[in-house]
Structure 1
């Protein structure tokens, strides 16, 4: 339950995204998100406490002061193993993820290339399971490529029942 609460804020998803490819200090995170360091530190601590973010070795900063960088643990890949019985917390996490993705789109600016599609499918439970598996396999295939010189891309895949 603590994990779902930790992922229930869009800023925390953005912090995890920033710290995915490189370890960043709280000050660096705050600058990139245009937030105060005190605000981001509260979110960083919540992510560290739930092991979605880990502190790396203390290093000497540009001005000689000691600083602690943080790196995402990629633990969010195992969300299916979390206790998803708390429907309200799951919905809060889903909405936080959507909000974080929206903020990243806005921050990327109007010239960022995007591919976006929205539609409605009518599928049986069996076909839904097949769709989820095939998409998971496809994403895993591309994630495994790990092209160091590749451009970081953000994606969001969501299935929602229509009201």
Structure 2
């Protein structure tokens, strides 16, 4: 059992090329939040977050929920992540710069979330170097995908919310 994948479009790569958008998606994954709530949690201005929220809604990564009455009686619109980034694969070699921009935005968002969570947030981290041929790389990705799908299927609502980041990248060529 492997995770289903979908190739990202150029438009999706452009939308996902900003770290703030990844952070908004993470915030709205477990609960619907208003633009004001998102702005407060990210310590940003509502105008700034609204621009990013609108881009995510247009790309269908965020979905507007029913308008509700807020704590002070004002009408407000919450947003919820649609999950369309799950299984998204950036493979467009004609848009290699956009793919790299999205990858760097994802790394930046993960770093910001780790920093915001505080020094006690880190559960495990590892970094290493591998030398693998194309077949072994494909096997590694397939096996990790299967393992992640297995653990996602057994998600426990009472469990700790954890974030993970899997990255496999070519190392820069050796400099003499």
TM-score, normalised by the number of residues in structure 2: 0.89
Q: How does 1:38-77 map to 2 (within 5 A)?
A: 38-77=47-86
Distance 1:158 1:79 in 2: 14
Unaligned runs of 5+ in 1: none
Decide which structure has greater helix share. Answer: 1
| Match of residue 109 from structure 1 | 118
Report deviation, 1:32.
Answer: 0.3
Which string of whole-angstrom CA distances, capped at 9 and with x for unpartnered residues, describes residues 37-58 of structure 1? 0000000000000000000111
Report deviation, 1:113.
Answer: 3.3
Which string of whole-angstrom CA distances, capped at 9 and with x for unpartnered residues, describes residues 20-66 of structure 1? 00000000000000000000000000000000000011110001110
More contact order relative to length (CA 8 Å, sep ≥ 6): 2
| Match of residue 153 from structure 1 | 162
1:29 aligned onto 2:38: yes
1:136 aligned onto 2:155: no
* Matching residue within 3, 10, 33 for 2:19: 10
Unaligned runs of 5+ in 2: 1-9
Say how many residue pairs are matched: 162
Find the residue that maps to 1:20 and give its secondary structure. coil
Moved over 6 A (4+): none
Report deviation, 1:112.
Answer: 1.6
Distance 2:122 2:136 in 1: 31
CA-based RMSD: 1.0
* Matching residue within 84, 87, 93 for 2:92: 84
| Match of residue 5 from structure 2 | none
